[in-house]
């Protein structure tokens, strides 16, 4: 019901929601509303200086995010395909994405996923 008042508020709320709740909410939205919310989320991510100056919100997968960088179509760690709405982290090279969970697991295992092997090497 929140999107009836303000789609921007809903986009901000979904962006700040845990990943599993965000994905459930996306699945319950009508296609045109879902598309609009995802475009707002992309705008928020592209204009972080205005919407998220302290870097509070995660980066999430959108079709345009993947389209901007064709090399980022699958996770650099698990090689799994990205699903819109998933939390991701950029590698240091700025060309590849990692699932946030893969990143956290790799760090917990003593890995250095930001600096480790990359497909561009």
Phi, psi at 83, each rounded to 5°: -115, 135
105 vs 59 pLDDT, higher one: 105
* Band of residue 35 on the pLDDT scale cut at 50, 70, 90: confident
Condensed to tens digits (0 to 9), the pLDDT of residues 42-92 reads 888 888 888 877 777 778 887 777 666 555 678 888 888 888 888 888 877
pLDDT above 80 for 102? yes
The torsion of the CA quartet 5, 9, 10, 11, rounded to 10 degrees, works out to: 140
For range 103-115, the mean pLDDT: 83
The number of angstroms, rounded, from the C-alpha of 83 to the middle of its chain's C-alpha atoms is 9
Q: How far apart are CA 44 and CA 88, in angstroms?
A: 15
* pLDDT value for 69: 55
Domain-by-domain residue ranges, the chain? 1-57, 58-121
User: The whole model's pTM is what?
Assistant: 0.67
- CA atoms lying within 13 Å on the CB side of residue 32: 0
């Amino acid at each position: 019901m929140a999107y009836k008042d303000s789609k921007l508020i809903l986009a901000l709320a979904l962006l700040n929601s845990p990943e599993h709740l965000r994905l459930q909410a996306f699945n319950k939205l009508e296609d045109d509303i879902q598309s609009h919310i995802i475009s707002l989320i992309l705008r928020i991510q592209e204009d972080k200086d205005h919407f998220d100056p302290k870097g509070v919100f995660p980066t999430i997968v959108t079709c345009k995010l993947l389209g901007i960088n064709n090399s980022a179509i699958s996770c650099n760690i698990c090689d799994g395909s990205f699903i819109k709405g998933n939390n991701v982290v950029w590698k240091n090279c700025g060309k590849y994405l990692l699932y946030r969970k893969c990143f956290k697991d790799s760090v917990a295992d003593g890995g250095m996923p930001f600096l480790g092997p990359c497909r561009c090497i």
